[in-house]
Every structure is written in C-alpha cells, then in structure tokens.
C-alpha cells in the first residue's frame, strides 16, 4: 500500500490505520521492540510526507501485539494439522494386550550384557 494513503489514514484517525502500518512494516516490527519500531516508522513516514507526524505508542503496541498473536496462531495451527490424530478406542476395540488401568511395565535394561562386556574386555 502506498505510504501517502497510510499517512492520510493516520491523520484522519481512521480505524485500522495502525494495523495496516504494522502489516506494512512487519519485518522491522518483528526484529526490534515497539518503541524503536515507533521511531523508525515515524522517521520513514516523515520523510515521505515532509511534515510532523504524531503516532500513538499504545495504539501501535496494541496492533503489534495483535499481529504477533495472529502470526503465532497461524504457525501452531499448521503444526497441529501435521500432527497425528488421536485414536480413542474402547477396551474391546484394542487389539494389542494392555495391562489393567493404573499398571504399567518399565522397559527392561539388559544388565547381563554390561557384565559380559566387562569380562571380555579384561
């Protein structure tokens, strides 16, 4: 989107202007903090418009927070979609033998192999 339109939206107080601003400068915003990104964006827009531009820190910070939260949910949704689906089976549907609820077996470590390897090495 053209910077002139964003500057006009900010001056008019249009709704969603900070959201557009965050999407436009997303590379800068994700790499630095909100206060530094506010200064960078302000300087860049002032070069374009050649007049003083006032940006509200809290509005920008809120838009950044929403953008980052939105980006995180997109990444978790794609990873969840790749995960295997859980299979919920009743006791009569399970083919493998299972112990009764609350009981489990620990995997056995072959202790005899360690003794044999030590005696062969000696």
Q: So where are the chain's domains?
A: 3-71
State the pTM of this model.
Answer: 0.57
Q: Per-residue pLDDT tens for 11-36?
A: 888 888 899 899 998 888 888 888 89
Q: What is the pLDDT of residue 113?
A: 61
Three-state secondary structure along 32-60?
CCHHHHHHHHHHHHHHHHCCCCCCCHHHH
Between CA 57 and CA 59 the distance in angstroms is 6
Q: Quick check: 88 pLDDT over 70?
A: yes
The per-residue pLDDT of the chain, averaged, comes to: 79
pLDDT greater at residue 96 or residue 68: 68
Between CA 21 and CA 6 the distance in angstroms is 7
- From the number of C-beta atoms within 10 Å of its C-beta (0-12, 13-18, 19+), residue 18 rates as buried
């Amino acid at each position: 989107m053209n910077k002139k339109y964003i500057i006009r939206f900010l001056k008019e107080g249009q709704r969603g202007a900070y959201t557009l601003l965050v999407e436009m400068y997303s590379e800068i915003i994700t790499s630095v903090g909100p206060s530094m990104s506010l200064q960078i964006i302000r300087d860049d827009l002032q070069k374009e418009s050649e007049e003083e531009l006032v940006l509200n820190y809290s509005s920008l910070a809120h838009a950044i927070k929403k953008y980052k939260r939105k980006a995180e949910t997109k990444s978790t949704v794609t990873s969840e979609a790749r995960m295997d689906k859980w299979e919920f089976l009743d006791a009569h549907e399970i083919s493998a033998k299972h112990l009764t609820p609350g009981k489990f077996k620990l995997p056995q470590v072959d202790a005899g192999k360690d003794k044999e390897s030590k005696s062969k090495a000696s």
